[in-house]
Copies of this chain bind each other. A is one copy, B any other.
Amino acid sequence: MAPEKRVTIRDVALAAGVSPGTVSRAMNDSPLVNEDTHRRIMRVVEELDYTPNVVARRLSLGKTLAVGVIVPFFTRPSVSERLNGVVSLLATSQYDLVIHNIETPEQRASCLTEIPFNEQADGILSISLTPTDAEAERLAEADLPMVLIDGDHPALKGVHHQVTVDDVAGGEATTRYLIELGHTKIGFVGDHHDNPFNFTSSRDRYVGYQRALREADIPVRAEYLEENQHGRRLARESARHLLALDDRPTAIFAASDTQAVGVLEAAREAGLGVPDELSVVGYDDVEIADILGLTTRRQLLFESGRRGVELLLQTLENPGTERVFETLPTELIVRETTAPPQG
């Protein structure tokens, strides 16, 4: 009834007639305590409804029992799906999840430079962020287990795993698909390839796009590239430009499903039928793609998060683990927004 103070290990010790140390050992199932004593202590623990103070444990163990997740724009469906994978697995472990969302370049900088050093986490998961060289250097110093999900840096030293997708290959294959359909005039709607967050996926997909065109001896036309900030609205504007060109593309490759939606909207505005007059293909395969029947390249978002945590937990258990670089496969999901060009 009364706001009774929290039960500590000493209370238990007193009630059980042993020392705090023994209670601690009993709680942690140390083989050093007698079975009877163990049972007796556990009974008292039950009675008093004792749960160890996590903060004290942390200090004592020198471990925080938490992992930090650094994630930009976690409300974006693709990101949130990765995060979902992270959460799903982490929930089964003893580790807490501390979230650091990034919405501005400043936040990005401070997260990447401070979080790994302030001893708030035993390990770090970074989602969709690519460290710069300087950042990578500094991160290496922290020597904190870190896993990069959908983001890589070749020079990262120390215990750093990576779970990525080959965006160049994905972009190339997707573009090739359009070429095989017969398209030669293919537009690209993506992020700013030089951006303060150092997001690289759009840029890499464009590199793949160029590669596919070159392989097919199709010239890469500068006016077919539209860079913009991420988002449906802005992608719509980008697409408007493409569709207003004298020699407009017959297909548009959007760097994400979100942007593809903007492209679809622009097409509707322009009175262009999809896929007859314009083919549109996205990237990610989030739910909206299914809803709209968008052809897209699927990547394993949920799995990437899950696998990232798996690697991190492995490293935490067993610090000797070797670095792992994993590349997850992608898959083209053909729906109703792509077709051979007209005529």
Which A residues form the contact surface with B (CB < 8 A)? 3, 6, 51, 53-56, 58-59, 64, 66, 74-75, 77, 80-81, 83-84, 87-88, 91, 96-101, 103, 107, 117-120, 143, 232, 261, 265, 287-288, 291-292
User: B75 touching A118 by the CB < 8 A rule?
Assistant: no
- The residue of chain B having its C-beta at the shortest distance from the C-beta of A96 within the complex is B98
User: A80 touching B91 by the CB < 8 A rule?
Assistant: no
CB neighbours (8 Å) of A291 from chain B are 232, 261, 265, 288, 292
Known: A74-B83, A74-B87, A96-B120. 6 other contacts (CB 8 A): A54-B118, A75-B77, A84-B101, A91-B100, A91-B101, A288-B288
Bound state CA distance, A58 and B81, in angstroms?
32
A99 touches which of B54, B55, B75, B97 (Cβ 8 Å): B97
Separation in Å of the A236 CB from the closest CB of chain B?
Answer: 11
A120 touches which of B54, B101, B107, B288 (Cβ 8 Å): B54
The contact sample of 30 A-B pairs, CB cut-off 8 A, is A3-B143, A51-B119, A53-B59, A53-B119, A54-B120, A55-B64, A66-B98, A74-B80, A74-B84, A74-B87, A75-B77, A75-B80, A75-B83, A75-B84, A80-B80, A87-B101, A88-B103, A91-B100, A91-B101, A96-B120, A97-B98, A97-B99, A98-B98, A98-B99, A99-B99, A232-B291, A265-B291, A288-B288, A288-B291, A291-B292
* Those 8 A-B pairs whose CB atoms lie nearest each other, nearest first: A87-B101, A55-B58, A75-B84, A55-B59, A96-B98, A97-B99, A75-B80, A59-B59
CB neighbours (8 Å) of A120 from chain B are 54-55, 96
Bound state CA distance, A117 and B54, in angstroms?
11
User: B59 touching A117 by the CB < 8 A rule?
Assistant: no
CB neighbours (8 Å) of A80 from chain B are 74-75, 80
User: B107 touching A91 by the CB < 8 A rule?
Assistant: yes
A6 touches which of B54, B75, B99, B119 (Cβ 8 Å): B119
Quick one: given A96-B98, A143-B3, A288-B291, are A54 and B84 in contact (CB under 8 Å)? no
Separation in Å of the A30 CB from the closest CB of chain B?
Answer: 22
User: A81 touching B75 by the CB < 8 A rule?
Assistant: yes
- The residue of chain B having its C-beta at the shortest distance from the C-beta of A104 within the complex is B91
Separation in Å of the A315 CB from the closest CB of chain B?
Answer: 16
CB neighbours (8 Å) of A100 from chain B are 91
CB neighbours (8 Å) of A6 from chain B are 119
CB neighbours (8 Å) of A83 from chain B are 74-75
User: A56 touching B53 by the CB < 8 A rule?
Assistant: no
- The residue of chain B having its C-beta at the shortest distance from the C-beta of A287 within the complex is B232
CB neighbours (8 Å) of A107 from chain B are 91
- The residue of chain B having its C-beta at the shortest distance from the C-beta of A68 within the complex is B96
Separation in Å of the A12 CB from the closest CB of chain B?
Answer: 15
- The residue of chain B having its C-beta at the shortest distance from the C-beta of A73 within the complex is B84
CB neighbours (8 Å) of A117 from chain B are 51
Bound state CA distance, A287 and B292, in angstroms?
13
CB neighbours (8 Å) of A56 from chain B are 59
CB neighbours (8 Å) of A96 from chain B are 98, 120
Separation in Å of the A313 CB from the closest CB of chain B?
Answer: 17
Bound state CA distance, A55 and B265, in angstroms?
51
